[in-house]
Structure 1
Amino acid sequence: MQRLYRKRIVLGVGGGIAAYKSAELVRRLRTYGAEVRVIMTQGGREFITPLTLQALSGHPVHLDLLDPAAEAAMGHIELARWADLVLIAPATADLMARLSQGVANDLLTTVVLATDAPVALAPAMNQAMWRDPATLANTELLKSRGFRLFGPASGSQACGDVGMGRMLEPDDLAQLAADCFARQSLTGQHMLITAGPTQENIDPVRYITNHSSGKMGFALAEAAVEAGARVTLVTGPVHLPTPDRVSRVDVVSARDMLAACEAAMPCDVLIAAAAVADYRPEVIAPHKLKKDPSSGDGLLLQMVRNPDILATLARRSDRPFSVGFAAETEHLLDYASRKLMDKNLDLIVANDVANPAIGFNSEDNAVSVIDRDLQETRFAQTSKGKIARQLIDFIANRLKQAQTHA
């Protein structure tokens, strides 16, 4: 169940008596570390109050598509981007019918159409409704489109009938939700990931650094572990918890980071997501530098180049499959393509850090991946966690192709 830690789950609550189980489901998901946002249909509100789910989730419940306050910020799009998983429990026969036809006439169905996250349905309905040909046809259509079905179970029902149609219990649904994040595309692979900024000392109290938060590199490490990889994460100074099952090495300077990476070799895949300082002061003052009245208002530092970590590792005899990052403020694709070729990389991930919505310290990202043929693959703006999983899947696929043709 550790796979649910820090995952973002949108829980849709449909209009069925099984909605009473949704309260316990929210509690279970949060117990395992997930963040939960709840959307309720009009029918769902007839069985359980929004206040109950707000208290359990810790967030206001989302109710209406045409809520002026929420939609001023395009609320349904924000929820769709935010979600790592959309879980609808209970999923009624009516709701499944509408989803199968692509109807978007309330907030929940609109979010489902707008998200690129996995969508899972926990059917809950009378046994006769479940085995009706229309419901069965809708179920098969939804499954063919990638929807995941959690259940239903067989047993006694609120109406007194016995048969298929009961919603699964909250513990079972939480386990199945966790299983949605179990991907084994990198089993047996050692992945080396760099993250965060580096710091280059000027004197004992001052240093040169940048705005990198390390969030993207840490999200990649977490996603790589989910995909079955053994992960070594070499990180500059950041304030982030170590992802579960990740071997973390803390460093300060660019030279420290290179030494740590070389010590972690060999590896199968290198992802260089760190924002490494290109230059460092030639001399580190042994004591705190004082203002010098004779120098006027200025301070002159002689800078020298740091080693190029990515290029150094990518030209080794035991060279790994090498993926770089290009954080640029202009001419994004041109600069990224040049870096790809100059450093002998297999892939490069380009992102526009001039955009505050997807730049340093932001929660979201949007990137383009460029390969050796200079073909671009775009990943639309969404959470860094989701972007990381998309990138890891993409890298795993390219790695498999490279190993097949080696």
Structure 2
Amino acid sequence: MKSKFFFLIFSCIVIEIFAQTPNYPNAWTLENCIAYAKENNISIHSLRLSKNSTYQDLLQAKEAKYPSLSGTVSQGLFALNGSDGLHMTGAPSQSIGANSSMTLYHADYIKNNETSKNLLVQMADLSVQESENNITLNITQAYLNILMNQENIISLENVLKTTQTQLKQGDQLYKAGSLSKLNYLQIQSQVAQDQYNLTAAQNNLRTNTVNLKQILQLPSNYDFQIVKPDSIIVDNQLKTLEDVQNLAQNQRPEIKYSELNVENSNTNLKMAKASIQPTLSLSGNISTNYSNGKGNYFNQLGNNFYMPIGLSLGIPIYNNRIYKTQIEKSKIAIEQANLDLQNTKTILNQQIEQSYINLQNALSQYDSAKTQMDISQQSYDIVNAQMKIGSIDYVQLQQQRLLYIQSVQNFLQAKYTAVLNKQIYEFYADNPINLK
């Protein structure tokens, strides 16, 4: 019996642990990273909750055009002083009623209030989309940094293997008396420097991996590893700047948000103007009551039935300029919303233009860096071959080696900068991030 009890507890704990385990992707590709962040990011979740809250305001605004209804029931008790003391007597009196009211006319205030709340729901949804766009770009940059680090490590490992081979050859030459001690020490120093460069690159990889892991808000003890794409291609085919700007102006959430903000500000002005208009309301109630000692309970309820219905007209006359101030401030809000829309469009066009320039520069640097790396690699291979037969000295080898390492790092920097800028530029045109 005890074993079954402990087995049941253990099973519950295991089920709870698995229930709390997040649904991580099988492989952390760039697309999976972006999808995971959109689904699980805390800030985006908070914006979605704000949208849900705004939607509840919309539901309430929709119900405002219908009559309200409330009911009341009251029960009275009284005390009688008898020969044996004070006694409480139950149910001596009772009243039952219901009240209802409905606004018949308020210069379309109810309709405009519903319109305003609907616009706010749409704006809240656009805020979610804008936040998703921002985190998409952050993840893309962090992901590409990791890929660049990985390629840099591979190149530095190859350089280290070459210098280690040179050290073995130098050791043999030094023991044979064909290499001076100074040159032998210089080769040892070169190996140490290459090992240092490789360690630094590995540290950068760990740092950038943690950075992406933190953007995804993964646990510290989670073993996070990305999946490297089969290939990273630098695509130099560009849409025209004008086409991308036009697409962005029609599709980007920040533009739509500002446009809805202008529309909502105009709706708020209509609501403010409605405040100085008369309000016509319909109200009514039904009630009945019962008193102890005045006849049958149900007969009393029927005989005392009362149902008044009436219209009421509210006319604002003087309110210490409260409504007038609301109207003037609403007009100011409209002007501010239009300025915000114009500013948002201007900033977006500037960002796209800067992205276009950055992409053009990156593509030019990529072509130059690739040519430089190819030449440096050929030169380094030739110098290595000459070093083996002793036709050049160590200084020349070291100079060419440094040029080669620098050219590789320049190439990788240019390559991933070009890829990143292309992704950003295409993203403005509403194209999804995709390294394939």
Q: Shared fold by TM > 0.5?
A: no
TM-score (norm 2): 0.18
Greater helix share, structure number: 2
Tell me which structure has the larger Cα radius of gyration: 2
Greater strand share, structure number: 1
